[in-house]
Structure 1
Amino acid sequence: MKKKKISRRKFLTILGVTGGVLVAGGVGGAAYIRSRFTPDTTPGPGEDGEIVTVAEGQLQGTINDGIYRYLGVPYAEAAERFVTAGPVTPWEGVLKADSYGPMSPQGSMLGFGAGNQDGTDNNCQNLNIWTPGLNDGGLRPVLVWLHGGGFSTGTANDSSYDGEALAKNGDVVVVSVNHRLNVFGYLDLSAYDEKYKDSANVGMWDIIAALEWIQQNIEVFGGDPDNVTVFGQSGGGAKVLGLMSTPYAVGLFHKGIVESGVTETVGVNFTSQEASTRLAENLLAELNIAPENIEQLQIVAVDKLQSAATKALDATAQEFQIPAPLTDGYQMEWEPVVDGDFLPTSPVTETNFADAGQDIPLLIGSNLNEWTGFYRTSTDGVDTDALSAVLKTAYPDKTDLTADHVDTLIRLPILKTMSHKADQNGAPVYAYLLTYGSSNHGAEIPYIFRHSDVSAMNDLFSSIWVNFARSGVPSADSLPTWEPYTREGGATMLLDTTSQLVYHHDAALLKLLAPDYEY
């Protein structure tokens, strides 16, 4: 499949970013680009809220429209780079939790530079909480949001992820998590010093520390520690799959939601130990640091470290011939490492799904158009009449839809992931496909958080997500009964103004568009 070369200008323009500023009308997939350039991280209005007591001390947040908000709450402390974070040092008095905390240093992604590092810190282990009640025994479902941006960039502090409306409408507790990314979260130095034995996955270890903090403290915020759902979009969805694949997260959460969080090289598979080891070698060579001087990495300036990391990623991608997702050629991104311990396997194994995820119900899906606004699906060599017929059968109401705007980049790996999950015969997997409007990458985010001006879609998506978190079965008043996905049945909910449950609706279409793909 021939892929187009994408210029930085075109990439940002199509995502709705001009001169580093998000412009009106940009597609939903701009969420991670926004956070790299000009994130809106100003908290909304609120008056001083109640003082609560957590394990480390007292917190005071704010309250607005009946929702308590606690921002920048520390859940762990990273004293050094590339080392797992330790417990939070207890504080004296009352800690004000009325503003966002630091986010991870930002890394390069999809070949573009790391961007602005303002407001970033290696010690970025903090989370944000929105809740309708405090110390009231409410035992509400807890929804833990993991932001997108691959494993390289982004922040939980983006206003797009403000949980106030979702918490209020669904009577749930919403939590968003900042954690280490890119070279700070996934540089594998385990070959050099026992101190760095966990360095390949410290970004994921941060998320686990956040889930442990939630287990210990969330009842104070009216949440149920025995009913925790992790959900995320794009890279955030891949983080959910990472949690479902590690034995170290078992028991810390109970359901998972993956929104467009799978490609062949991120989500289906994660980085191999061999490639991870080589990446570290290439990085040290770029910085001219000898293995015996590994501690020099603790003091290298962030910009210099990120620049070297970008070059090392490219060199390793060329060496291992890792296919680029959006262009021809090779590309490597930061992500978890299948080290045999933290990750015994990738999420999708040759014949099954990661063992750790067997008992976790999964809601997973993608959007009809995804990245096709600039990376169109190839129809070269496909019989035009046959393609037109199967497209009409798959999407009879989408009269303006053309086959080159039907996503395969994410849809096919999503099918592989949920098929293998269903093969486990464990907890069920439920499939969705967003077909409403311009269903680009990230288009569902404002509906879930109830930030869009389309109230019907806000109601639909937030209800589905909340009801799945509450019961393990997705549902909404306007929907038919949602059946689990199986290879044989292929049940998928098409989410639109009129939603419907369909069965292998696009199988013939995908077979024409990607005849060699097997799942």
Structure 2
Amino acid sequence: MSNGFSLSRRALMAGAAASTLAARAALAAGVAPDPVVATRLGPVRGRMLAGGVRVFKGLRYAAPPVGRLRFRAPQPLRPSRAIMDAGTFGNAAIQAPGQPDMPADETHGEDCLFLNVWTPPAAKKAPVMVWLHGGGFSGGAASRPTYWGDAFARDGVVLVSVNHRLNVFGYTQLPDSWGPDYASSGLAGMLDIVAALRWVRDNIDRFGGDPANVTIFGESGGGAKVSLLLGMPSAKGLYHKAIIQSGAMLEAAPRAYAQGLGAALTQELGVKPGDVAALAAVPTDKVYAAQDAAIAAVKSTATKGFLIDGFVPSIDGRELPRGPFSPVAQAMAAPVPLIIGTNKDEMTMFLIGDPKIRNQTEDEHAAYVRDIYPAQAEALIPAVRAAYPDYTPGYRSVIVAGARSFWMNAITLAERKLPQGAPVWMYRMDWELPERGGSFKASHALELSFVFGTYDNVRNFVGPSDGPARLSAQMHPAWVAFARTGRPDHAAIPPWPRYNASTRATMIFNLTSHVENDPLSQMRRILQGG
């Protein structure tokens, strides 16, 4: 092939021969051999896990975006004849240290375009799920223990997780003076994901996956990335179903604002417009440190938007023609079935540790609501009290903040998707975490280990009770069923009706799950102005 992404037949045969020799040696020693797969970019050696699951970690899917490739769209990776060892995770993107779920051995670098694959034993045309991690657009990594794909692979799914550029390295939109190579630099991190999806299209059959049955899914910032992919023409046809967990994103940063940030950044770095060599020579840590000053220098008008200020994806008119769901869904999203939902108490993770929120009086709560929703506050305050009669004023403020940042965006995105015809399913996760005195309730990100079946990996977060296992027995098979068939129904949950603007049927996940029509209907009507 002439596209630069395939090896010669001779190289593939050499890799296969090496694989055969390694397998024979392992069998002679009485152990299961490490699996070797000949991808179009070269042979890779993974690891065999319990039950025949195979994992391949740290697979490159594009060239390292360093030096003169900094801020540019991802470039093709040259094939190699050597067998690459895929036994350890690759770098995550440059980001702040000390995040609660960050393992001690996690590494970071600008060279971060790596993905991981978990595949079932003897897989053939298995459904594929591509995971986009959370952390907004500034942090997170595909390698964290919550996201390990063993359970998905055991249940017949090929699970792919993706690292990509973040923050200033992934979303700096340079001004037009930098020329065509940087016309979409404000979407570099999203274009990384598109490149990873192309890798899946071209290679996943060699891991037993079906490139014609790909589900993209993500939570928080990962859900926002899924939202954006539903509006990016270059991603069309690379996925077939989508799941957005606590991260519905309707809009993106305006280009003028994003270019202003890019200009402020290069000024802070002392780099003149168009000087590619000078930009490439700036040390990584200096680039990362300069982003705060650039943000401070450029006033954002998106004070109440979801992830649309700072170094985040921006509209360029080509790779992202407009907001993915603003004012309506883009046509390319029409054939894609969707699961979308939130957790009951999303904002406890961010707000309840603040004594000013946790210890609010009724008057302080009312002032908080008026600040967030000035036009709806007088109707909303009693509606929230009626919906959550056992909540303190501070926890009711958390509910209102979560409605603004998560719940109403999910409803709006679903409503704008419905006219296109493909089915939509809505959920809410209500189980309250007993740990930490119950202060987190059903917090943001709590559902992740239930979906992945990895709750034993994160017992320090989810606690020792049987609640996580019971939730996982309901949520994980629903995600697997959706990936396999396009419907989330399975025997451990009630029938899950499709969402529509009339009944608004919503699966309420809890120890015993149930379907509720139009939950919190009074609050929804107030917030929607009708």
Aligned to 1:483: 497
Aligned to 1:448: 451
Runs of at least 5 residues in structure 2 that lack an aligned partner in the other structure = 1-30, 358-364, 368-376, 433-440, 456-465
2:521 corresponds to which letter in structure 1?
A
1:467 and 2:481 matched:
yes
1:345 corresponds to which letter in structure 2?
R
* Separation in 1, partners of 2:474, 2:350: 28
Aligned to 1:430: 425
SS in 1 for 2:226: helix
Moved more, 376-385 or 474-483: 376-385
Q: 1:421 aligns with which of 412, 417, 420?
A: 417
* Separation in 2, partners of 1:390, 1:243: 35
Q: 1:154 aligns with which of 140, 152, 165?
A: 140
1:175 and 2:175 matched:
no
* Separation in 2, partners of 1:108, 1:245: 32
* Separation in 1, partners of 2:185, 2:266: 15
1:320 and 2:300 matched:
yes
SS in 2 for 1:501: strand
Q: Is the 8 A contact 1:68 1:131 kept in 2?
A: yes
Residues 1:456 and 1:400: Cα distance change in structure 2 (over 3 Å): farther
Aligned to 1:232: 218
Q: Is the 8 A contact 2:44 2:85 kept in 1?
A: yes
Rg comparison, structure with higher value: 2
Q: Is the 8 A contact 1:47 1:64 kept in 2?
A: no
2:323 corresponds to which letter in structure 1?
S
Alpha-carbon displacement from aligned partner over 1:151-183 (angstroms, at most 9, x marks no partner): 111111112211112211x21111101111111
Alpha-carbon displacement from aligned partner over 1:443-501 (angstroms, at most 9, x marks no partner): 01110111225322111111111111111111231322222222222111111112111
* Superposition deviation, residue 374 in structure 1: 5.0
The structure whose residues are more often helix, as a share, is 2
Q: Is the 8 A contact 1:190 1:199 kept in 2?
A: no
* Superposition deviation, residue 188 in structure 1: 1.1
Mapping for residues 334-413 of structure 1, pairs under 5 Å: 334-350=311-327, 352-375=328-351, 378-380=365-367, 387-391=384-388, 403-406=396-399, 407-408=402-403, 409-413=405-409
* Separation in 1, partners of 2:106, 2:193: 22
* Separation in 2, partners of 1:391, 1:178: 39
* Separation in 2, partners of 1:338, 1:246: 10
SS in 2 for 1:271: coil
Aligned to 1:18: none
Q: Is the 8 A contact 1:257 1:364 kept in 2?
A: yes
Q: Is the 8 A contact 2:253 2:308 kept in 1?
A: no
Aligned to 1:87: 76
Q: Is the 8 A contact 1:166 1:448 kept in 2?
A: no
Q: Is the 8 A contact 1:156 1:178 kept in 2?
A: yes
2:43 corresponds to which letter in structure 1?
Q
Residues 1:341 and 1:460: Cα distance change in structure 2 (over 3 Å): same
Q: 1:291 aligns with which of 263, 273, 294?
A: 273
* Superposition deviation, residue 148 in structure 1: 0.7
Alpha-carbon displacement from aligned partner over 1:61-98 (angstroms, at most 9, x marks no partner): 11111210100011111352112222222222321110
Residues 1:385 and 1:299: Cα distance change in structure 2 (over 3 Å): closer
Aligned to 1:69: 55
SS in 2 for 1:175: strand
* Separation in 1, partners of 2:486, 2:428: 18
- The alignment's TM-score, normalised by the length of structure 1, stands at 0.80
* Superposition deviation, residue 199 in structure 1: 1.3
2:92 corresponds to which letter in structure 1?
M
Mapping for residues 214-233 of structure 1, pairs under 5 Å: 214-233=200-219
Percentage of identical aligned residues: 32
1:64 corresponds to which letter in structure 2?
L
Aligned to 1:249: 235
Moved more, 213-222 or 288-297: 288-297
* Superposition deviation, residue 216 in structure 1: 1.1
* Superposition deviation, residue 258 in structure 1: 0.6
SS in 2 for 1:410: helix
* Superposition deviation, residue 222 in structure 1: 1.1
* Superposition deviation, residue 405 in structure 1: 4.4
Q: Is the 8 A contact 2:110 2:284 kept in 1?
A: no
Aligned to 1:504: 518
* Superposition deviation, residue 510 in structure 1: 4.1
Alpha-carbon displacement from aligned partner over 1:202-254 (angstroms, at most 9, x marks no partner): 11111111111111111111111110001111000100011111111111000
Alpha-carbon displacement from aligned partner over 1:249-274 (angstroms, at most 9, x marks no partner): 11100011111013xxxx12111111
Aligned to 2:45: 60
Residues 1:166 and 1:204: Cα distance change in structure 2 (over 3 Å): same
Q: Is the 8 A contact 1:373 1:405 kept in 2?
A: no
SS in 1 for 2:34: strand
2:173 corresponds to which letter in structure 1?
D
Residues 1:447 and 1:82: Cα distance change in structure 2 (over 3 Å): same
Aligned to 1:197: 183
* Superposition deviation, residue 399 in structure 1: 8.6
How many residue pairs end up in the alignment? 447
Q: Is the 8 A contact 1:108 1:306 kept in 2?
A: no
Residues 1:255 and 1:118: Cα distance change in structure 2 (over 3 Å): closer
* Superposition deviation, residue 292 in structure 1: 4.4
2:489 corresponds to which letter in structure 1?
S
* Superposition deviation, residue 430 in structure 1: 1.0
* Separation in 2, partners of 1:126, 1:213: 11
* Separation in 1, partners of 2:254, 2:47: 44
Q: Is the 8 A contact 2:493 2:513 kept in 1?
A: yes
1:309 and 2:304 matched:
no
Q: Is the 8 A contact 2:172 2:185 kept in 1?
A: yes
1:49 and 2:34 matched:
yes
Residues 1:476 and 1:303: Cα distance change in structure 2 (over 3 Å): same
* Separation in 2, partners of 1:91, 1:372: 48
